[in-house]
Chain A
Amino acid sequence: MTGQSKKVERGEGEYKMAEVKSLKQDKLRGIFLFENTDHTYLNTLRRIITNRVPVMAIDEVKFMENGSAMYDEQIALRLGLVSLTTDLESYFVRDKCKCKGEGCARCTLDLTLNKAGPCTVYASDLKSKDPAVKPMFPNTPITKLLEGQTLKFEAKAILGTGKVHAKFVPGLMFYTSVPKFKVKDAKEAKKLVEESNKVLESDGKKLALSDYSKTDFALSLVEDHPDAVEVEMSSTDYVVTIESWGQLSVKELMSRAIEVLDEELDELEAEIKDLK
């Protein structure tokens, strides 16, 4: 996962390869250190992650029976927001599918639900025709039914992008630039390190952050000791957090985003060539 477009040759001009280090990996969250890059590239990646990477979500609901206290529209909205595990290999975006937007098995997934009260209807009650696409968080409550109330519907899930609706947003990315500290007064700096509760580390000459997730805390501490150190925010190194909402893994999300960026750059290149 490097930050270059595939057509740029290594070592050409001033170009430097971006380096990515993984700092922490959870199930649905990854924290990375990006070096030799800039905020323009990272912001492009961020916008592509929220707007351009397609994921599955319920888009159409046909109610046969709804006895619950919620209106059909309310339930449909809640169903749309349920995140479905997405298999990007076996589904196509509707507009690019062979059926030309009519809906077929390659672009549309049918889900059904049939429940009678008294009970809470959970996302796990949704019956999906494809075992690979199911609710990521099965304990999500959709609605509650009392004695004698029933809920019965058929739903269609499609691939879509965050540009169209927030339910298709696959995750969130945010980043902060890495602070570099220059010691101005050794005595004051020592005090600062002692106060920082091990967030700042010092080897006598240099001061560094031990935990990048506590950058804000360290900066506010430095503000209280203006004579101790000078802070410069790096313009090439960034700590990047990527969170997935469950449809795709962090790795898939990132590589898909880079693929989308490559495609769009190719498209731009072709358009420019046509210009006279």
Chain B
Amino acid sequence: MIQRQEQRGRNRTGEEKMLVPIRCFSCGKPIAHLWEELHARMAKGEDRQKVMDSLGLDRYCCRAQFLGHIDMIEDIAKFKKN
């Protein structure tokens, strides 16, 4: 699934994948500062659902932002024309 999304260059919501959105598209809650903590804790073996609960992502709109997103900026940046 991830492989296919990367080939398309877009995430499930059709946005160009760059960096995690600053705010949730639906409710407006600032969420970008939680992205790195979520992945750091998931890398330590914590369950995604439990980390999201403890980060205060109560609504499914905010959770969906993270579930449908892959950071692609570092790959895209290599092809930047200066």
Residues of A in contact with B (beta carbons under 8 Å apart): 67-70, 74, 78, 81-83, 123, 136-146, 149, 166, 169, 172, 243, 245-246
With a cutoff of 8 Å between Cβ atoms, the chain B residues found around residue A68 in the complex are 77, 80
Residue of A nearest to B28 (CB): A169
Q: Are B30 and A137 in contact (CB under 8 A)?
A: yes
Q: How far is the CA of A139 from the CA of B27 in the complex (A)?
A: 20
- Taking the closest CB of chain A, its distance from the CB of B54, in whole angstroms, is 13
A143-B80 contact, Cβ under 8 Å, with A83-B30, A137-B30, A245-B29 = no
Q: Does residue B48 face the partner (Cβ distance < 8 Å to A)? A: no
Q: Are B76 and A69 in contact (CB under 8 A)?
A: yes
Q: Are B19 and A246 in contact (CB under 8 A)?
A: no
With a cutoff of 8 Å between Cβ atoms, the chain B residues found around residue A78 in the complex are 19, 22
With a cutoff of 8 Å between Cβ atoms, the chain A residues found around residue B74 in the complex are 144, 146
Residue of A nearest to B29 (CB): A245
Q: Are B28 and A70 in contact (CB under 8 A)?
A: no
Q: Does residue B51 face the partner (Cβ distance < 8 Å to A)? A: no
With a cutoff of 8 Å between Cβ atoms, the chain B residues found around residue A82 in the complex are 22, 30
Residue of B nearest to A74 (CB): B18
Q: How far is the CA of A199 from the CA of B20 in the complex (A)?
A: 37
A144-B35 contact, Cβ under 8 Å, with A74-B18, A243-B29 = no
A70-B73 contact, Cβ under 8 Å, with A141-B35, A143-B19 = yes
Tally chain B residues at the interface, Cβ within 8 Å. 21
Cβ contact of A137, chosen from B33, B77, B82, cutoff 8 A: B33
Q: How far is the CA of A11 from the CA of B14 in the complex (A)?
A: 57
Q: How far is the CA of A145 from the CA of B76 in the complex (A)?
A: 11
- With A69-B77, A146-B80 known, 20 other A-B pairs at CB within 8 A are A69-B73, A70-B18, A81-B30, A123-B33, A136-B30, A137-B32, A138-B33, A139-B33, A140-B22, A140-B33, A141-B32, A141-B35, A142-B19, A143-B19, A146-B74, A146-B77, A149-B77, A149-B80, A172-B28, A245-B23
With a cutoff of 8 Å between Cβ atoms, the chain A residues found around residue B22 in the complex are 78, 81-82, 140
With a cutoff of 8 Å between Cβ atoms, the chain B residues found around residue A70 in the complex are 18-19, 73
- Taking the closest CB of chain B, its distance from the CB of A196, in whole angstroms, is 21
Residue of B nearest to A29 (CB): B56
Q: Are A141 and B30 in contact (CB under 8 A)?
A: no
Residue of B nearest to A241 (CB): B58
Q: How far is the CA of A140 from the CA of B18 in the complex (A)?
A: 14
Q: How far is the CA of A123 from the CA of B76 in the complex (A)?
A: 21
Q: How far is the CA of A68 from the CA of B78 in the complex (A)?
A: 10
Q: How far is the CA of A70 from the CA of B21 in the complex (A)?
A: 13
With a cutoff of 8 Å between Cβ atoms, the chain A residues found around residue B80 in the complex are 67-69, 146, 149
Q: How far is the CA of A56 from the CA of B46 in the complex (A)?
A: 36
Q: Are B27 and A172 in contact (CB under 8 A)?
A: yes
Q: Can you list 8 residue pairs at the A/B interface with Cβ under 8 Å?
A: A81-B23, A137-B32, A139-B37, A140-B22, A141-B35, A141-B36, A172-B29, A245-B30
